[in-house]
Amino acid sequence: MRPVRFNDVVIVGLARDEAPETLSSQAIEEGLERVYERLRLPRGLLASLTGILRRRLYPPGFKPSQAAVRAAEKLLAETGFDRRRLDLLYSTSVGRDHAEPSTASIVQNRLDLGGQVKSLDIGSACLGFIDGLELAALALERDLAEHALVVAGENSRPVLEATLARLRDITDRAVFFRHFATLTLGSGGAAMILGRGRDYPGAPRLIGAVSRTDARANDLCRGDEGGMETDSPALLTAGVALAKATFDQGAASLGWTPSSFTRLISHQVSAANTRKLCQSLGLDEDILVKTYPDYGNIGPVAIPYTLDLEKGLIPPASRLLLMGIGSGLSCSMLEIFWP
């Protein structure tokens, strides 16, 4: 897909929902004490390798749609936005309530949105929210809609508990580390409303986006609610290479340079991924907002969640770069001007 420039799309508002329970990396390792002893793994390995100290969880049985709805209701309450003005709803979670119907239809019903709203699920692993923003922005640019709501909700409890149960019988280090990335997953919800700049002067503005894929790497991370297996070293190498190609495309088509941006808002994976990404792209790691130490990897929720946490601290007239990589592999980057 060719790079796209947006002329009249803005962020009307965004909000996050914080899962109520905290699970530390230390507590996870205490639950795997015998496994660590059997495989001769050092205590503190999870935090030292990933930089993740804790992650958050919803209660058992809590559905992705519930996290998305909670974030959306918070957004509607904070902004005073009339939900009857929405035209589009995209649910972008990795987790879904059911194989069918769409999670978006469940969110639409619980938010009591009218029949004028077109709703659907958009799935691209951890990249889903950026893809949802880009597709919604294109619809607004074509005057097919005036407002779009993009949501995501993740509850990592089921896959985390299934993985912990599986790891307790592991006797092979290699097998253990193929499941290791699952222990980084966190939970949360996020929602964002997009509108047209002509209706919201002074709102944060979407500038442009670029995307690239490397489908040859589609087998490096595969998972479902029952578990996830990841070739972490190969995934890191392939993901960073794809991100470099994507940023280079943005440089050629949108004029990006490593010093263009005030803040970097990325999909949060781990300390190693963050460091390698910034080094490869020549970006200043100090301006990348890090939420993974306290929230872990929340999948597609991570980018809007991080942006919402940071929004009160962004200097005026800032250029932001949203960056995401999804298993498959797909990579998208989206520039925002923050007035």
Active site amino acids: 100, 126
Q: Which residues contact 181 (CB under 8 A, 6 or more apart)?
A: 221, 228, 230, 232, 297
Instruction: State phi, psi for 211 to the nearest 5 degrees.
Output: -145, 145
Q: How many CB atoms lie within 10 A of CB 29?
A: 19
Are residues 50 and 184 in contact, defined by beta-carbon separation less than 8 angstroms? yes
Would strands 227-230 and 221-224 be described as parallel, antiparallel, or unpaired? antiparallel
SS3 helix, strand, coil % of the chain, rounded to 5? 45, 25, 30
